[in-house]
Structure 1
Amino acid sequence: MVQLAPINTCYFDKDQLPKLVQDQQDQQQQHAGDAWQHITPGASTAEGPGGVPAGGGNAGFEDDNASSCAGIVPPGSQQPLPPFSGQFTLRAVLVGLAVGFAFVLLNMRLALATGLAANLQVVTTGACWALLRCYTSLLGRDMPCIRPLSAPEVSVAASTALAVSSSAAAAGFGSVLLALQDPIAQRVGSSIPDNLPSLVWQLGYWRLVGYMAMVGLSGALLVLPFRKLLFARPSMTFATGAAAGQLVNTLHTPAMSYHGHKQMARFAQWSSISFVFSGYQWVFNNPACNGFARFPTFGLQALRYTWNFDFSLPFVGLGILAPISVTWSMLLGGLLSWGLLWPLLSRMEGQWFAARLGPWDIRGAYGYYLTVAMALLLSDAAYHMVKGVVGVASAWMVEALRIMDTDTLSDASSLQFSMAAMERALRQHIFMSDGMRGWVGVLGFTVLAAAAAFALPALAAAGRLQVYHVLIAGVLAAVAGLANARGAGVTDLNMADAYAKVGMLVFAAWAGQGAGSAGAALACGGLLLGVSSTAVNAMYAWRAGFMTMASPIAVFIAHMIGLGASCLLTPAAWLLFDHSDSLLANDGFFASPMASVFRQTAVLASAGASALPAHALWVAFSALIVGLALNALRDTLPMRLRGVVPIPAALGVVFMSGASIAVDLAVGAAARIFWRLRYPRSADAYALVVGCALIAGEGLWGLGKGLLAAFGIQAPICMTFTVPPQL
């Protein structure tokens, strides 16, 4: 039933065809009405039953998505969405490549200095918008032929920039690749007798180009057949991608309605708060201290097992965005692991694992954390991969369309603003009616995996790395890539490094002890790292395009162009640092500490299962069975009861990352519940905006933080809390 509401709002029953009864703003409402009629099931012959494009969930490339976008006028705009040729433009690709190369230099410097790499998607998106805006503003006044800038075009440029800027971490600069360098071998050799300094690679330019072509292009092709299934699940928020898309919508919204102005104001307000507070936290986070990350919210004894609120606003924003089932799963995982299992495990130090080992040593408690978490994540990915392969993908797709109606990011049953409801429906229509076939991704991934199987052993020059090793690594990389994509969709965390370490454990043990086993493990681990990392980045790019109503085909092609260009640009960026005197020196600025961790893991794993703690494999196998059982139970129960069963991917992340993430999500979920109780209409309309703003603000500060770290500027104040001895 339709009722009148003030200021461009209306109530509607989602089970009936919504109709706009009265034009309160004639032009705006007329455009919105036309757009709604355009996406009504049955209004277009390109759709089949349930809203799925004719020909199945993955229509062919010949069904150009641009034709389905033509004529759609987004709410708050007076111009229709541009066609494919207006989104995928030469200027967008060139701007994306330029921005991506600028930020890959920053990520490379950060990876070499700290071993870590920041997710700068929000920043690169803003930079792409700024450059394109300057270009159209300067030339558009004197050259009428210059096409006006649109939000989908910005998403296409940002997709290219994301592919290039994230390639340094995906290729293993700062981790796997540097672990094969002679300075790292000498550094680790003093503490591990089995380390062989001869296991080194010479990272020449063309060798790096070939290596990146093998490991850097497969991830995006891998998730191509699963993209709609991943987006359809309510728990798959991909919060960083959503924040980047919301940033574009806020910056680029011509002729905004009242609702659009309110959205922009809320986004600017909360992103500014997040940016300022992130900078304030950095002031107290000197490298010798922990800052707010170890603030004893619940006391020092609870802090020992990561039970604290660390004031991480991005995860608070994720808690606002994510369904309650995700928060519940994270909290339950924190209670089971950091509240029960790991405290009990710590009492077995010296019996179940060696005492007084480093925090990243796989022979210690970290071996349990890593194997159990990976077992849960891999069980989740393997279950859903088998479920799709055995022939239920089409039925799952029909269910996915229905599930999307209850997505937290697009909840039509609760969003009461007609503009927000219109945006939800338009996004669904554009994304679900793309023209990409799943077999294209399967074929491309298979070809690249086969090429890697024959080329990587010769390229790595590792005596024990065989063709069948790389073939099996390609199969495991497919499972790891899907698992990482699902985990990142739920928690917004990229666990690619953890999957690489698990792969190294498997292949080092398989290759056996002796010369070349650690090199074989690092090569296969690099393959898992590249595939699982690029798979997540592709999903982030699609989520940003989903938010801006960009053509999924345009976003995908731009992302693949960026990945191809990164094979040439990232090795060039490495050459700029290769001649530094402090590169990989123990006391130098570019010490790359994580490379030592990876090499130590590979050398220790060459001893086989004995490298792990005594009962780690049995505990991990039990976790694998539990994860499969939980997935089966979630599919068996009715929809309203599934939220009670925890999500294995969420459990796996919190088992290894700590309970503080679950606390952050719980704070965000509690804030949204309180907001909805007090101001239900405001909460339902602006929860997405506020959650994305908290993530985007911290992402913008990530640029400043990365620049400060890259140039060696440290925080001026040290704040730390000392945990008392264990009782």
Structure 2
Amino acid sequence: MDDNRKVEALENGKKDGEQPLTEEQVFEEKEEVFPWSQQITPRSIGVSTLLSVVFTFVVMKLNVTTGIVPSLNVPAGLLGFFFVKIWIYVLSRFGIQSKKFTRQENTVIQTSVVASSGVAFSSGLASYVLGMSGNVASQAGTGNTPSNIKNLSLQWIIPFVFCVSFQGLFSIVPMRKTMILGYKLTYPSGTATANLINSFHTPKGEELALKKVKILFYSFGGSFLWAFFQWFFTASDNCGFASFPTFGLKAFKYKFYFDFSTTYVGVGMLCSHFINLSMAFGAIVSWGIMWPLIEKRKGDWYSADLPSSSLSSLQGYKVFITIAIILADGLFSFVYVLWKVISNMKKLNKDLPVSGDPDIKEAATVGYDEQRRTKYFLKDNIPMYWSLIGYVALAAISSGLVPLIYHQLKFYHILVIYLIAPVLAFCNSYGCGLTDWSLASSYGKIAILVLSAWVGDADGGVIAGLAACGVMMSIVSSASDLMQDFRTGYLTLSSSRSMFFSQIIGTVIGCITSPLIFWYFFYKAYPDMGQKGSAYPAPFGAVYRGIALIGVQGTSALPKHCLNLCLGFFIGTIVLNIVRELLAHKKFRVSKFIPSPMAMAIPFYLGPYFVIDMCVGSVIKFVWEKMNKANADAFVPATASGLICGDSLWGMPAAILSLVGVKPPLCMKFLSSADNDRVTKFLDG
């Protein structure tokens, strides 16, 4: 049976007119599964490096604006497919025959790219690292002692990122068979990515993939050109389309406006309607009701003489209430996922066979696809001693080097983290497999509170807590990412070793590209980064520093009545989560209308402007789905990815122009009629 007939048989659900044809039966005669060393090819490394630079820039741009980063697995797999096809086509024009492009090589590229962009998130350059800087500390109005400030420099950022980014990979490798084959965790994002890659490598799937790439590049080009056009009108602060008072000047004062950012229109298309509407509700509660009411208490609740950036002014309420919601939601998620982990492990352990390999179901109980996938998953074993020696060696090196970078930490602080981290990495990986939630940032926040309180204010507890966050967050984040990729590799017959080494390659690339892109295209090009109202406010820099201040100073860091409000929102967040989960468990439809507190918290600090962009994206997606559901499912992710990449990548030439002193020629501002009359009279002389 030829390939096309096999694909048709799969679509018709029959083989030779009688038996159902499984996915792996379609691929069995169509492809040759190469050894793991041949799945990682020079061209896969080349394409991974190119895409890693692109995706790192995108993630960094999202981090320094709002901190919302959608899943980029789909565009990574899609663009990896496209660039290798272009590679093959170009070489063929010169008469050079290329090695066949397989789904395993596609998976290797996707794994490396996501690992690299994952470092852009877990390295914390726009969150806990930026929170160490004097730029962010100056806004706090407290905790600004020399021992609690660390000036940013590539000389220590790059070594620190290298020190903490690899341990998580070694900590979780021994559990791969138990999680993937024994407990059969689904890892929804990993499964979806594998299904996408598998679909690309069928004849009809390849045709659809090329259509998706075409849509992606159309939206990419339009987004890039629109960002370029907007640049001409941004000669000064609050200029251009990004400051367009869509709903009037009074609404604009409280950040209710559409800022024409295609990045967040695209993010809104990738996020669920539930998340977008939750953020809209949070924006209305905070900037529509709470902050205007608290602002009227100026002079009573807080001094009217304080700068707006001080944590003892209105800014303090914004930061600490946001922190209270985030901590409460993280605590609930931790307990909830831990409960699911324990209950599911007890249930699954009863189902494991008594004899034989305890990690694998007996072959007789599984279908053809599972047997074939299990065979290739176990083919290239990763010895236990690799992971043990690797983890111990890296932990020892890190325990010696990190205290040299941060004198506020001692070697025993780091050792304690490395003793606890493997357990937390397992919990996070298992929970991610069940729910698709990674709680890396929640574990990082716990580390901030514990280490900052342990070290104390006088000895630099703020910096110690933020650095400890980096160590913990990197371990648990990379561990869950690797297990997600093991799941993708299992479904695409990619070797465990190729997945492991692809992660290492991507992590190495990320440890180089993330600091360099952050430093040269954001931090140096925009010196006001991290400050309220700047082009790149990097909100989580202030949030993470605020958590560290609570750790070292307790409630003394809070302005008047802020503690009561924080406690109210903390308790309310937990109650809201419990109610939503109970209603969902009972399958009441009303549970879908209870907002997510974590999503609500983000606009509490930043404002509604980006939420409006995301809601526009949500509306576009909703209308598209109503018009043609199948078409929307196929092309919405590609369209959204193009919008995000195009707008984000304009930041690269914009940063270069800023560094060389080239400024936009025009400033487009909007004034009330009264202000306009005064300006006209002044100009007329």
- Coarse TM-score class (shorter-chain normalised): 0.5 to 0.7
Q: Distance in 2 between matches of 1:72 and 1:576?
A: 48
- Name the residue aligned to 2:464: 520
Q: Distance in 2 between matches of 1:624 and 1:479?
A: 26
Q: Distance in 1 between matches of 2:232 and 2:527?
A: 28
* Cα shift at 1:618: 1.6
Write the letter of the residue equivalent to 1:632: E
Write the letter of the residue equivalent to 1:373: I
Q: Distance in 1 between matches of 2:208 and 2:165?
A: 44
- Name the residue aligned to 1:373: 325
Write the letter of the residue equivalent to 2:505: G
Any idea what the Cα deviations from partners look like across 1:459-486, whole Å, max 9, x if unmatched?
Answer: 4453465735874696698699789989
Write the letter of the residue equivalent to 2:407: A
Q: Distance in 1 between matches of 2:633 and 2:585?
A: 31
Give the SS at the match of 2:470: helix
- Name the residue aligned to 1:690: 636
- Name the residue aligned to 2:316: 364
Q: Distance in 2 between matches of 1:478 and 1:637?
A: 31
Q: 1:647 aligns with which of 596, 603, 612?
A: 596
Change (3 A) 1:302 1:634: farther
Residue 386 in structure 1 maps to residue 338 in structure 2: yes
Change (3 A) 1:320 1:258: same
Q: 2:237 aligns with which of 288, 294, 305?
A: 288
Contact 1:328–1:646 (8 Å) recurs in 2: yes
Q: Higher mean Cα deviation, 374-383 or 110-119?
A: 110-119
Write the letter of the residue equivalent to 1:526: G
Any idea what the Cα deviations from partners look like across 1:610-643, whole Å, max 9, x if unmatched?
Answer: 1133415423532442254245324432164432
Q: 2:258 aligns with which of 276, 288, 309?
A: 309
Write the letter of the residue equivalent to 1:607: Q
Residue 618 in structure 1 maps to residue 567 in structure 2: yes
Residue 167 in structure 1 maps to residue 119 in structure 2: yes
Q: 1:63-102 alignment to 2 at 5 Å?
A: 70-73=24-27, 80=31, 85=36, 88-95=39-46, 98-99=49-50
Q: 1:325 aligns with which of 252, 274, 278?
A: 274
Structure 1: which 5+ runs fail to align?
1-25, 46-67, 398-425
Write the letter of the residue equivalent to 2:26: I
Q: Distance in 1 between matches of 2:630 and 2:55?
A: 38
- Name the residue aligned to 1:157: 109
Structure with the higher helix share, 1 or 2: 2
Contact 1:170–1:216 (8 Å) recurs in 2: no
Q: 1:666 aligns with which of 600, 605, 615?
A: 615
Q: How many aligned residue pairs are there? A: 623
Q: 1:390-405 alignment to 2 at 5 Å?
A: 390-392=342-344
Give the SS at the match of 2:99: coil
Write the letter of the residue equivalent to 1:707: P
Write the letter of the residue equivalent to 1:702: S
Structure 2 length as normaliser, TM-score?
0.67
Change (3 A) 1:109 1:170: closer
Contact 1:275–1:700 (8 Å) recurs in 2: yes
Write the letter of the residue equivalent to 2:146: L
* Cα shift at 1:689: 0.8
Q: 1:286-685 alignment to 2 at 5 Å?
A: 286=235, 288-289=237-238, 291-353=240-302, 355=304, 356-359=306-309, 361=311, 364-392=316-344, 435=377, 454-455=399-400, 458-463=403-408, 465=410, 467=412, 471=416, 504=448, 507-528=451-472, 530-531=474-475, 534=478, 551=494, 553=496, 556-566=499-509, 569=512, 606-613=552-559, 614-615=562-563, 617-638=566-587, 640-677=589-626, 679=627, 682-685=628-631
Q: Distance in 1 between matches of 2:444 and 2:673?
A: 34
Q: 1:32-111 alignment to 2 at 5 Å?
A: 32-34=8-10, 37=13, 70-73=24-27, 80=31, 85=36, 88-95=39-46, 98-99=49-50
Contact 1:374–1:502 (8 Å) recurs in 2: no
Q: Distance in 1 between matches of 2:321 and 2:375?
A: 41
Contact 2:61–2:648 (8 Å) recurs in 1: no
Give the SS at the match of 1:364: helix
- Name the residue aligned to 1:703: 649
Q: Distance in 2 between matches of 1:535 and 1:673?
A: 35
Q: Distance in 2 between matches of 1:108 and 1:449?
A: 27
- Name the residue aligned to 1:49: none
Contact 2:137–2:144 (8 Å) recurs in 1: no
Q: Distance in 2 between matches of 1:672 and 1:124?
A: 21
Give the SS at the match of 2:259: coil
Q: 1:213 aligns with which of 158, 163, 169?
A: 163
Structure 1 length as normaliser, TM-score?
0.63
Q: Distance in 2 between matches of 1:197 and 1:177?
A: 15
Any idea what the Cα deviations from partners look like across 1:55-101, whole Å, max 9, x if unmatched?
Answer: xxxxxxxxxxxxx9754359xxx955856749832325532564377
Q: Distance in 1 between matches of 2:585 and 2:68?
A: 40
Q: Distance in 2 between matches of 1:462 and 1:218?
A: 24
- Name the residue aligned to 2:145: 195
Any idea what the Cα deviations from partners look like across 1:466-518, whole Å, max 9, x if unmatched?
Answer: 735874696698699789989x979xxx9988986785465434432313323
Contact 2:128–2:545 (8 Å) recurs in 1: no
Write the letter of the residue equivalent to 2:596: I
Give the SS at the match of 2:26: coil
- Name the residue aligned to 2:678: none
Write the letter of the residue equivalent to 2:468: C
* Cα shift at 1:528: 4.9
Write the letter of the residue equivalent to 1:72: V
Write the letter of the residue equivalent to 1:365: Y
Write the letter of the residue equivalent to 1:89: I
Give the SS at the match of 1:95: helix
Write the letter of the residue equivalent to 2:635: V
Q: 1:147 aligns with which of 83, 92, 99?
A: 99
Identity of matched residues, %: 19
Q: Higher mean Cα deviation, 470-479 or 618-627?
A: 470-479
